[in-house]
Structure 1
Amino acid sequence: MPFISPDDGHLTVFNLFETETPAGQEQVLDAMRDIIDNATYPGWISSTLHAGQDRPGTANYIQWTGLEALEARYAGEGFKRKTVPKFNELATSVRLLKTEAEFVQRHPGLDGAPELSPARDDYTVIIVLGVAAENQKELLDTLATPEEWLAEVPGYRSHTYFRGLDGTFLVNYAQWDGKEAYDAFHALPEEQRPRDVRDARARARSLVTSRWANTYHVVHSRSAQG
């Protein structure tokens, strides 16, 4: 199963699809499972499919050896003439976000790198933060710092910051025990957070130009290694 590590050098693509209804979500999931199960693309490492929880939608977390391999896939006639039109028809919104992992933190009680697997029960949160290109590095430096206090937050498992290759966004991919734990953390009053965390959040809010989020659970995964 895939693992998250900034040291692996992988290109990570987040394919984020939104649908109007749960039935529409199931159609996208079925179509995506078929693509994943038949993937043989040069440079493709793994794909992990997520089903939306709070809102209908899907997220496909895809690891590639690098940008060249991904662009070869995007340039293929099958992708341009079949795959893109199909998902534009099934989904109300399609986002293909090219990123690199820059920072990972995991609860100290959990061993190893964060794993993505349908055998796990992670409540996954994906947040996309828009930012002006000239401010992306500052936003990343502000948010991607160790937060030891999270070890005491009930339900916290891990979070990772990914840098958008085009310079206009960051992605936060976080794993929690469940919805109740994450909602409690999200709603935690600012005064109950450490002072340095409050300062960083305030600075980040001044830099962020947009925020998009949804929650998921992993339903399918496959890698090139079987």
Structure 2
Amino acid sequence: MPHISAQDKHLTVLNLFTTDQPDKQDRLIQEMRKIVDTAAFDGWISSTVHAGQDSPGTANLIQWRSGEDLEKRYAGEEFKHRTLPVFQDITTSIRLLQSEIVYTQRHPSQGDTTEISPDRDDHTVIEIFTVAEGHQDELVAELGQGRSWLAEVPGYRSHSVFKGLRARFLDGPFAVVYSQWASKEDYDAHRNQADADKTEDRRKSEARIDALKTGSDWNSYRVIHTRGAGQ
């Protein structure tokens, strides 16, 4: 199964799609699985499909050997004339985000690596943060080491921070946080906690993130399918 590790030097691509109807999410998943199950692209390592939970949509976390390998895929006739048009027809937004993993943290109960797998029961949350030029590194650090306090939050399992490198359908610098939780209830309790009940470390961290970011959004997901090269 794929793992997220700050020691890995490959490219991580997060393809995020939103739609306005549950049946369109089902079609998105079908189309994504077709691609994943037949993938044999040079430099492709793995793909992991996620189904939206709080809002209709999908996410595909893809690991590539390099950006050059990915650009060959994007330049292909299949991607330009079939894959992209199909997804544009059934989505309300598309973001194709290229990034590098810079930080991972896990609760001690989660072992030595961050695994993403349909065999796990994680409530997964993906957050996208945009940031002004010159402040990306500071935001990435605050989202990572600056939120070490998450390890004390009930239901927290892990969070991984990706630094944005380049993107299609998203302008400007960005960062991505991929987090795993024991349940939706645990995550919602954390997200909706009253300010008066937050720790001092959390209040300081959130104030700094709010000052640095220019925008953010999130959705929750369930991992439903994965495949790697050689499978």
Q: What TM-score comes out, normalization by structure 2 length?
A: 0.94
> What is the DSSP-based 3-state SS (H/G/I as helix, E as strand, rest coil) of the residue aligned with 2:108?
coil
Contact 2:149 2:202 in 1 (8 A): no
Say whether residues 1:193 and 2:198 are aligned partners: yes
Query: Within 1, Cα distance between the matches of 2:160 and 2:148?
Result: 14
RMSD of aligned residue pairs (Cα, Å): 1.3
Cα gap change, 1:146 to 1:206, in 2 (>3 Å): closer
Residue 149 of structure 1, CA deviation: 3.7
Residue 190 of structure 1, CA deviation: 3.0
Query: Within 1, Cα distance between the matches of 2:47 and 2:199?
Result: 36
After TM superposition, list the pairs within 5 Å mapping 1:115-194 onto structure 2.
115-145=115-145, 147-166=147-166, 168-194=173-199
Aligned to 1:78: 78
Unaligned runs of 5+ in 1: none
Say whether residues 1:218 and 2:223 are aligned partners: yes
Aligned to 2:45: 45
Residue 188 of structure 1, CA deviation: 1.8
Give the letter for the 1:195 counterpart. E
Query: Within 2, Cα distance between the matches of 1:136 and 1:11?
Result: 18
Residue 194 of structure 1, CA deviation: 3.2
After TM superposition, list the pairs within 5 Å mapping 1:70-109 onto structure 2.
70-109=70-109
> What is the DSSP-based 3-state SS (H/G/I as helix, E as strand, rest coil) of the residue aligned with 2:189?
helix
> What is the DSSP-based 3-state SS (H/G/I as helix, E as strand, rest coil) of the residue aligned with 1:141?
helix
Give the letter for the 1:135 counterpart. H
Give the letter for the 1:85 counterpart. P
> What is the DSSP-based 3-state SS (H/G/I as helix, E as strand, rest coil) of the residue aligned with 1:142?
helix
CA deviations over 1:100-139 (Å, ceiling 9, x no partner): 1111000012212111111111100000001112111111
Query: Which consecutive segments of 4 or more residues in structure 1 shift more than 6 A?
Result: none
Give the letter for the 1:216 counterpart. Y
CA deviations over 1:48-105 (Å, ceiling 9, x no partner): 0000000100000000011011011101111111111111011111110001111100
CA deviations over 1:24-62 (Å, ceiling 9, x no partner): 000000011000000000000000000000010000000
Contact 2:149 2:201 in 1 (8 A): no
Contact 1:43 1:70 in 2 (8 A): yes
Give the letter for the 1:188 counterpart. Q
> What is the DSSP-based 3-state SS (H/G/I as helix, E as strand, rest coil) of the residue aligned with 2:39?
coil
Contact 2:146 2:205 in 1 (8 A): no
Query: Within 1, Cα distance between the matches of 2:152 and 2:145?
Result: 17
Residue 225 of structure 1, CA deviation: 2.9
Query: Within 1, Cα distance between the matches of 2:62 and 2:97?
Result: 10
Contact 2:160 2:179 in 1 (8 A): yes
Contact 2:147 2:205 in 1 (8 A): no
Q: How many residues align?
A: 226
Q: What TM-score comes out, normalization by structure 1 length?
A: 0.96
Give the letter for the 1:125 counterpart. V
> What is the DSSP-based 3-state SS (H/G/I as helix, E as strand, rest coil) of the residue aligned with 1:133?
coil
Contact 2:46 2:227 in 1 (8 A): yes
CA deviations over 1:136-162 (Å, ceiling 9, x no partner): 111112221064543332111000110
